[in-house]
Every structure is written in C-alpha cells, then in structure tokens.
Amino acid sequence: MDIRLAKLDDLAAIADIYNREVIHSTATLDTDIQSEAYWVDWLAEHPPDRFPAFVATSDDDKTVLGWSALKPWSTRKGYNRCVEVSVYVHHTSRGVGLGRTLLQTLIDAGIERGYGYLAARIGGASAASLHLHASLGFEHVGTMRRVGEKFGNVVDVVLMGKILS
Ligand SMILES: CC(C)(COP(=O)(O)OP(=O)(O)OC[C@H]1O[C@@H](n2cnc3c(N)ncnc32)[C@H](O)[C@@H]1OP(=O)(O)O)[C@@H](O)C(=O)NCCC(=O)NCCS
C-alpha cells in the first residue's frame, strides 16, 4: 500500500468511501450526498502545507482504499493550534492496518506542520474507531451523550484528543 497526498483524480473514490458512511453508519452525522463541485471545494480546503488530505492506494492497480485529512477545529484564531482528524477506509479493506497507517500519517503531518493538538469526534461511539484512536495515543476527552440524531436514533459522540506539544 502507498500513502500520498490526495489529488483531483481521487475525489470520486474519496466521495464513494465517505458516502457509504453517510448512507449506512453513524461514523459521520452527515446525511447528505454531496455534489462533485462540493468535493472539488473540499480538496481546495485541504492545502498540503496546512490541512493535508492523504489517500492510501493498493500496490497493484493503485485503487484508492482509504483516505485521511486534517481540518481546522474552529475558525477562531485562538484555536489555530488544534486540527481535527478524519479517517475513512473502504469497507472491503478494513482490518488490515490501513486505518492505523492513515491516522499515523495525520499525526506525523500534524507534528511536521507545528500543530499542538489533534481532535477526533467518534460518531456513534464506533468500537473500531475508538480502538484505533486510543491505540495511537488519543485520550478520551468526554462523551457527548445524545448529541446527535441519525436514522431516527439519538446517538452519542465521543470526543478524543492527542496533545502534540
Ligand atoms: C475506523 C476505521 C478507520 C478503522 O480502519 P481499519 O483499516 O479497519 O483499521 P486497522 O485495520 O488499521 O485497525 C486499527 C485498530 O483497530 C482495531 N479494530 C479494527 N476494527 C475493529 C472493530 N470492529 N472493533 C474493535 N477494534 C477494531 C484493529 O484490531 C487495530 O487494533 P491494533 O492496532 O491494536 O491491532 C474504519 O473502520 C472506518 O473507516 N470506519 C468508518 C469511518 C470511521 O468511523 N472513521 C473514524 C471517524 S473519523
């Protein structure tokens, strides 16, 4: 598997991986499938020097198997040292270490870019995601009980964080 920065050609695959979670899970509380133009804007909002987005591709045919990205935690400048992590792995490629590699890539990118804190929101308190973040040193900050709603169910969101400096 290779990890590299995301580019325009990857957007359809990135959106596909994300949309499955929009439709089927509470990993994201997003409920809308977005347009191609939305994803082009999304990539523009991930300049490599500040909020990089990465893809993991297969060794053989270079298919995009997962992606990860940093994004601002808040538009208020006092929060500039904090960025939020996102990691999504194609459902047929889970459990073989891609999520771990993609999240470690974000941690390294955060350190290289001088951020002080990584935040993660774990929708629906997903066991895989909680385990993944904890195993890479994210601590449990708190559980926002009953904060969200999706598919007619009220859901918890776990906030986790990792201090970098
Ligand atoms: C969470 C997610 C990114 C994990 O990706 P993955 O490639 O399957 O994870 P890995 O194979 O790297 O496994 C990472 C760790 O989680 C563990 N894990 C994987 N699936 C698990 C599960 N269902 N329950 C508990 N632990 C699990 C692995 O054993 C591994 O632990 P280890 O390093 O101690 O052995 C993936 O399930 C996913 O894309 N989920 C939907 C989107 C999401 O929830 N994203 C996170 C919120 S931003």
Share of the chain above pLDDT 90, in %: 96
The string of pLDDT tens digits covering residues 16-72 is 999 999 999 999 999 999 999 999 999 999 999 999 999 999 999 899 999 999 999
User: What's the gap in Å between 77 CA and the centre of ligand 1?
Assistant: 32
pLDDT at 70: 99
Which residue minimizes the CA distance to atom 14 of ligand 1?
132
Q: What is the CATH number of the domain that holds 88?
A: 3.40.630.30
The string of pLDDT tens digits covering residues 73-113 is 999 999 999 999 999 999 999 999 999 999 999 999 999 99
pLDDT at 74: 98
User: What's the gap in Å between 129 CA and the centre of ligand 1?
Assistant: 5
The range of the structural domain enclosing residue 32 comes to: 2-163
Residues in contact with ligand 1 (CB, 6 Å cut-off): 21, 27, 86-89, 94-100, 122, 126-129, 131-132, 135
Q: Provide the number of structural domains found in the chain.
A: 1
Which residue minimizes the CA distance to atom 30 of ligand 1?
132
The string of pLDDT tens digits covering residues 56-68 is 999 998 999 999 9
More confident residue, 140 or 1: 140
pLDDT at 125: 80
Q: Measured between alpha carbons, how far is residue 51 from residues 9, 89, 106, 127, 159 in Å? A: 18, 19, 10, 26, 20
User: What's the gap in Å between 78 CA and the centre of ligand 1?
Assistant: 32
